[in-house]
Amino acid sequence: MAVAISFFAGAGGLDTGLHQAGFDFRLVLELEETFCQTLKSNYKDLNVKQGDIMHYDRSRIYREANLNEESEIDLMVGGSPCQSFSTAGKRQAFDDPRGKAMLKFAELVREVKPKFFLLENVRGLLSAALRHRPLHLRGDDHPHLEPDELPGSALKYLLEQFKGYNVEYKLLNSADYGVPQTRERVFFVGVRDDLKSRFVFPKKTHDAEGREGLQPWVKVGRILEEMKGVEHHFPEYSPERLFFMKMIPRGGGNWRDLPSDLIERAMGGAYKSGGGKVGFFRRISVSKPAPTLLTSPMQKSTNIGHPFEDRPLSIEEYLAIQEFPPGYLVKGTLAQQYVQIGNAVPIRLAKILGESIMELINIVDAEGHDREILKSSNKVAVTAVSK
């Protein structure tokens, strides 16, 4: 099996899919103790280390992965924390400790020199500035934005950190690959220069309308239907939230479906704010994929309510929508479980990406083997002529 090393493992969504694609993880690093417990509960023999990526170098990686110094690592994986690039956050980019962790990942790629690397993050990374200027300091009355304050400058800086690699990146919607969730994330795949190859992202297999011969998106209603009889764990709505949620149409809807004379009361200060506010008092639609599963289904502005029952989606439904294997255990409090599952890469998408990377690894390995045979043959021929 191809040798892989993982950082920022979380609950193991990305690693599970990659393992299903054939990767052998020799070292899995995760900062949070509870998340490590989740990994160890599901993979008894997995070499899980609780630690901070900032304290690692090539020597420590090889030592803890039980690899000899001559061994080559096929794939280095990182689903780094995304808050520093989220459009909902302060967008501190690489000034944030979580952004610094991404740069550390790039540093380790340069130091370890794996054949391939895979990095995942939120779509906000594509438009983030290296240095964020607050909105009130922009406009005609303020100096023009500097180059490092322009949208996309953080992305440009990040790509520059992967010297020695051909890097491809793409924003992928999980629903386009058969996941019952419209989760968008940007993925980076780097191939070491000497391998003289370039990664091509797998073509999508599904489409919202099933156009161009593709399969239609998978509806979340189908997943929920298959879960009849499952015991569910979830937080309860407050009496006030429950009062309004009971008025939302079964099968899908949100605050716009409330009686008109109650909308302003239900929405409070958000009533006069801008934006579509689609997440307020939302019941997800059974006829579409689920929206992006967040780290809490209970936030007022991003409620992820069950389409028929008066509650948020459960832990079990989160796991099913993310397509974790049946019986997958998630440790910690209810809140910690939602965080782990909500931050995960859907298993199906991770596996599809892993299969594409594995295919390319096999190609470059075969070509490298052929070159070695040719090199050996030439050496033999030269020796024979010399004699």
- The radius of gyration of the chain's CA atoms, rounded to the nearest angstrom, is 24
CATH numbers and ranges of domains, the chain: 2-212+347-358 (3.40.50.150), 220-342 (3.90.120.10)
CA distance 380 to 243: 84
The two structure tokens encoding residue 28: 């899995």
251-277 pLDDT per residue, tens: 999 999 999 999 999 999 999 888 889
Looking up tokens 């103790």, which residue turns up? 33
- Calpha distance 272→270 (Å, rounded): 6
Q: Can you give the pLDDT at residue 45?
A: 96
Instruction: Extract the tokens encoding 116.
Output: 């391939």
- Active-site amino acid positions: 82
What are the tens digits of pLDDT across the range 343-381?
999 999 999 999 999 999 999 999 876 666 655 555 444
- DSSP bridge pairs for 29: 49
The residue among 330, 328, 300 whose CA lies nearest residue 312 is 300
Task: Give yes or no for a contact between 353 and 202, defined as CB atoms under 8 angstroms apart.
Answer: yes
- With tokens 């605050």, the residue in question is 255
Name beta bridge partners: 188: 119, 169
pLDDT digits (tens, 9 = 90+) for 300-343: 999 999 999 999 999 999 999 999 999 999 999 999 999 999 99
Q: Are 30 and 48 in contact (CB under 8 A)?
A: yes
Residue 16 clears pLDDT 90, i.e. is over it: yes
Alpha carbon distances (Å) from 269 to 29, 186, 218, 243, 261 = 43, 33, 36, 18, 16
What confidence tier does 147 reach under pLDDT thresholds 50, 70, 90?
confident
